[in-house]
């Protein structure tokens, strides 16, 4: 019953971006590498889902995971080139929100 008249690549990208938290994770990583606990507390996502999203994004080649064997261990997540290429999308969402949403939203 899949009436996909829509371009499958577009549909895939949209499917990814419309998963809860994905956009915000990318937004956070646009300002530089971040560690797990920083993302967790700065965006209020649950560890369970953050873990899941980072794995997905890594699988899709959008996020890179680097381990620094310090003490305690430091693990940093950052955007790959493919991930950085999502910046224009985030910027357009930012522009739209500033143009069309009220400053005092409930």
CA distances from 19 to 33, 43, 56, 103 (A): 21, 15, 11, 25
Using rule CB under 8 A, residue 75 touches a copy of itself: no
Q: Which one of a copy of itself, DNA, none is in contact with 35 (Cβ closer than 5 to 8 A by kind)?
A: DNA
Using rule CB under 8 A, residue 43 touches a copy of itself: yes
Using rule CB under 7 A, residue 24 touches DNA: no
Using rule CB under 7 A, residue 58 touches DNA: no
Side-chain half-sphere exposure of 22, counting CA atoms within 13 A: 17
Q: Which one of a copy of itself, DNA, none is in contact with 66 (Cβ closer than 5 to 8 A by kind)?
A: none
Q: Return d(Cα 89, Cα 95) in angstroms, integer.
A: 10
Interface stretch with DNA, choices 3-11, 24-32, 39-47, 82-90 (CB under 7 A):
39-47
Using rule CB under 7 A, residue 16 touches DNA: no
Is residue 60 packed enough to be buried (19+ CB in 10 Å), middle (13-18) or exposed (0-12)?
middle
Q: CA angle, corner 45, sides to 55 and 70, nearest 5?
A: 60
| Interface contacts to DNA, rule CB under 7 A | 19-21, 35-38, 45-49, 51-52, 54-55, 65, 71-76
């Amino acid at each position: 019953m899949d009436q996909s008249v829509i371009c499958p690549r577009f549909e895939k990208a949209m499917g990814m971006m419309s998963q809860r938290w994905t956009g915000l994770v990318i937004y956070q990583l646009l300002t530089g590498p971040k560690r797990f606990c920083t993302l967790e507390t700065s965006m209020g996502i649950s560890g369970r889902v953050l873990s899941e999203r980072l794995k997905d994004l890594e699988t899709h080649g959008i996020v890179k995971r680097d381990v620094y064997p310090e003490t305690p261990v430091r693990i940093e997540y950052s955007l790959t080139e493919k991930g950085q290429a999502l910046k224009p999308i985030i910027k357009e969402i930012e522009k739209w929100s500033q143009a069309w949403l009220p400053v005092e939203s409930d």
